[in-house]
Amino acid sequence: MDFRFTEEEEAFRKEVRDFIQEVLQEVLPSDWQGVDPGPEEEAREEVYQLAVEIWRKLAAKGWIGLGWPKEYGGQEDLAKDWILKEELIYRGVPGMDMAVVQGDLILQFGTEEQKRRFIPPIAHGEVKYAIGMSEPNVGSELFALQLRAVEEADCFVLNGQKTWTTGFQHADWCVLYARTDPNAPKKSLGISVFLIDPKSPGITMRQITQMTGLAPFYEVFYDNVRVPKENLLGEKNGGRAIAMYAFGIERSYGLVVLHNARRYFEQLVQYCKETYTNGQPLAKDPVIRNRLAEMAIEIEVGRNLGDRLNWMTSQEILTVLPSCQIKVHGANVAQRVASLGMQILGPYGQLDEKSKWAKLGGRMKHTYLSSVALSMAGGTSEISRNIIAGRFGLGLPS
Ligand SMILES: Cc1cc2nc3c(=O)[nH]c(=O)nc-3n(C[C@H](O)[C@H](O)[C@H](O)COP(=O)(O)OP(=O)(O)OC[C@H]3O[C@@H](n4cnc5c(N)ncnc54)[C@H](O)[C@@H]3O)c2cc1C
């Protein structure tokens, strides 16, 4: 067993680190503390603008969709794709985008015409995507969704509501799951997936604010929205396979979460080395040392799970089990790092980023609050545990 990256991959990692250094000097503010990856923090307009700028720089380097086939602008190199993501996330550089994930779906299920139409704008860093799965009464049980799509001569007509649609305000496209056959023998067999233009007539949205104070989500209302037939992704009523594929990708997001938590953890370790109580560095306190060491082990376990998941993906081995494992573990680690951080910082941990007394840029408060959502977003940890307990893992009867 060889856990090392190749020389070429290590050289690419160095190139990415140099790129990040350049971005830190030229684009990001000098007191940059890092942000969480993805669209949540992009609800702050200043972060969104930075993300767009960096996303375009990544596109100029040809680094968007590195794992994609060469004919669609990729390099067919999954290892490089992961190295790039890992480094950007770990350094808290904004710009990682959901468009790539939705591009994966289009490459997997789209027609040739759709691939030619939708993939290049993603690779060129020109478009943003949102995901329209959840509804007010539909989350874990996606196949119970009710938003209706009725076929007419030249289009499908959509009526219904979605919720928790993250980043809808910036999206150029939304991958939307809708019911096309209400009489199908099984609920999962009556669903289709569409590529929707969020600016279409009949779409309205209402912002939802999180406990972090950010407002990344939208309730989205579809009132007689007409979608051209060529925007149907995959077969009509064939949405189940697309959803199952998308769930796998979303669960592997646990690894993204883990690398983000790693940054907070290392900042915390540094804080313990530099902070003195009663003339002693915090780092000499045996309780703190033990808790930090315990956390370091959990992070390392997560990195190994992640490397295995990436390797299995590159070998096209079924990844249901490792993606569920990393989903649960990544969220657990992020929540534990945040909780440990709040304990170590004591009353300073609760202070806002704007407070002059805030430690570590006030980011521990943010991650403590935002990490709560990590065991829900992209499918809950409970559902992943159920899958691990069932036929893909322990084989327990459901
Ligand atoms: C930060 C964030 C971003 C999101 N972004 C998007 C987005 O962009 N697009 C989108 O469509 N959705 C989005 N969501 C919604 C997300 O996909 C759902 O929250 C998730 O699928 C869970 O669904 P639910 O919230 O309806 O919870 P429910 O399914 O109602 O579950 C509620 C609780 O019951 C538990 N539970 C449910 N079923 C079981 C079971 N079988 N066994 C054990 N426990 C169970 C759950 O674990 C949970 O604790 C986002 C959510 C968050 C938190």
pLDDT at residue 115, rounded to an integer: 97
Q: List, for residues 340-372, the tens digit of each pLDDT value.
A: 999 999 999 999 888 999 999 999 999 999 999
CA of 131 to the centre of ligand 1 (A): 14
Residue 4 — pLDDT band, cuts 50, 70, 90?
Answer: confident
Region at 344 (left for phi over 0; alpha for psi -120 to 50; beta for the rest): alpha
Q: Which CATH number fits domain 129-237: 2.40.110.10, 1.20.1050.140, 3.40.630.10, 3.40.50.970?
A: 2.40.110.10
CA of 302 to the centre of ligand 1 (A): 22
Check whether 236 has a pLDDT greater than 90: yes
Structure tokens at 106: 């289009």
In this structure, the residue with its CA closest to atom 53 of ligand 1 is: 377
Please name the residue ranges forming H helices in the chain: 7-26, 45-60, 78-90, 98-109, 112-123, 239-251, 253-274, 286-314, 320-345, 363-370, 381-389
Enter the pTM of the model: 0.95
C-alpha to C-alpha distance for 67 and 74, rounded to whole angstroms: 6
pLDDT at residue 143, rounded to an integer: 97
CATH number listed for the domain at residues 252-389? 1.20.140.10
- Sign of the Cα torsion 361, 380, 331, 47 reads negative
Q: List, for residues 37-85, the tens digit of each pLDDT value.
A: 989 999 999 999 999 999 999 999 999 999 999 999 899 999 999 999 9
Q: Pocket residues for ligand 1 (CB within 6 Å)?
A: 130-134, 139-140, 164-166, 373, 376-377, 379-380, 382-383, 386
Q: Which atom of ligand 1 is nearest to the CA of 40?
A: 1
pLDDT at residue 293, rounded to an integer: 98
Q: What are phi and psi of 202, to 5 degrees?
A: 100, -5
Q: In whole numbers, what is the pLDDT of the chain averaged over residues? A: 95
- Cα angle 378, 381, 386 (rounded to 5 degrees) comes to 115
CB 149 within 8 A of CB 178: yes
- Cα angle 250, 176, 59 (rounded to 5 degrees) comes to 60
In this structure, the residue with its CA closest to atom 25 of ligand 1 is: 139
Q: Which class in CATH covers the domain with range 7-96?
A: mainly alpha
Closest CA to 333 of 360, 306, 352: 306
Tell me 196's DSSP state: E
Check whether 211 has a pLDDT greater than 80: yes
Work out the average pLDDT over 240-255: 94
Region at 244 (left for phi over 0; alpha for psi -120 to 50; beta for the rest): alpha
What are the domain boundaries of the chain? 7-96, 129-237, 252-389
